[in-house]
Chain A
């Protein structure tokens, strides 16, 4: 019974997804979409309440070690629930406009959320893998949901092929780990590796697992699927898939590195630091040249992966490195989903998403969304007083502590580079007047709410930062180093 209590939030999300599909059949008429949204939002709210501390005494191991519920799990659970909540808010009006199958869209989105949450609570490679598949397969479907749009099809196909490929690599790595240690449970693997030490076969397993997870997190050079997949997918889907799977991939990396591979005491620092530096620099440099805002945000999300990976590289600094990773993942999730949502205030039907020129003069036509978008862009740049600033600080901190001063400097210069293309959007919104036809404003009350919520959260968490950070610190504690 307690085992079920431990996965109460996951059960709530599952149930919500099922109810959404039933409501879709039962309710007809003009209020159908709104009813579906309300059901999904209410279900996520219930899941959020079920995820609050005190429901179960943490850390708690359930289902014979398949599930571990600790502070780490709680942190990511709440993050994924929040992200799903915002994604649902942002999706309704867009789906109505483009005649997407809305019930299927949010049900699929909720299943993907469930997968991400499963990754966070996995105590076993099997759970981890099931969670990973449950998270990514719905996203393949979501990316291709706009069936008649060739770009959407391209996005789905690219994402699917590369995703399936990387999953196979990852699974192969898991198989090696099992073969070497005789266990799929993370702690069992840790015990097994403690006796084998770092042998050749262990290295092969490590390489396969690292490559597999790097694909999921879009670390350079495994990032090539990202821009086309993000660009082609329907924007509400892009918003979700740019944040949740990435955060989940880092949750998986931390679990594996911190728990299962912990006895090896490998020095990841140099490898991860170089990858991080490459990732952030490449993402930023390519983002500079993008005339499409959607594509720019896609590339910039690669850059953010680099910043998060810098936190992973700083593992030597102890728990505060993991805390930095968690905080960054949370902050990035909020601001990036908000930024993509902000693009949906424009009706860009028939185009590939908002181009910079489409945003000309937006500040006069839609002052509030433009202001909220500006706040989110400032936060993504990493300027105070926003949460994005602290996210950067909390990665600088362990990076310098671990003696990676050069990485911190590269990060700082990259942030200045990013300022160019993020603030260029502000130039188009505030400083240029429309030339020729600009897209009409879409009816966007719910989208506006999503953008506004994330913008306000960015500022509030940027001023009142301590609760989230101290939570990230305690959430990082169960992950050893």
Chain B
């Protein structure tokens, strides 16, 4: 995911809201015959705001995936048009998310803190982002330990129970680490080391997305 991070990320709230608007509008209008043009326009817009490399990487993944999805869709529904729409939806899903997935998480948490939103949201984000790789690591360690015991695999006994026990321990350590570093969900004042500000570039980007959506809705 690190390779995806933007060099000049957009303002966090813009990065979160704009992809949602692009996606929802796209899904609502996916049946339009011009739908591929909408996807191309979205990609070009993102490229113009410094996400060209990430757009290429995303397309390289999502185009093959979309073909698989389209194939399955065709097998179930026997309908070329529906399969095409499915492929378009999958590509849009991958591409539209770019401003959000290229956003460094710290920018988002700092933006939330600066806006005075509940800190429990920051907590959830910090942990959710961090926990997925932790889960991968712990699953690997448990599997290895079970191997050393020469056990016959049983999902509940040799996997679920030890993994859950480990993850609960880690969860407690995480919470403790937050508390000992003076994190609180109360109303205590906090500061932001590198404040994230809404710049002219973000305004241009927002205007461009707005113009694209309006044009597309009128066309579709």
- The judgment on whether A and B are partners is no
Chain A residues within CB distance 8 Å of chain B:
none
Chain B residues within CB distance 8 Å of chain A:
none
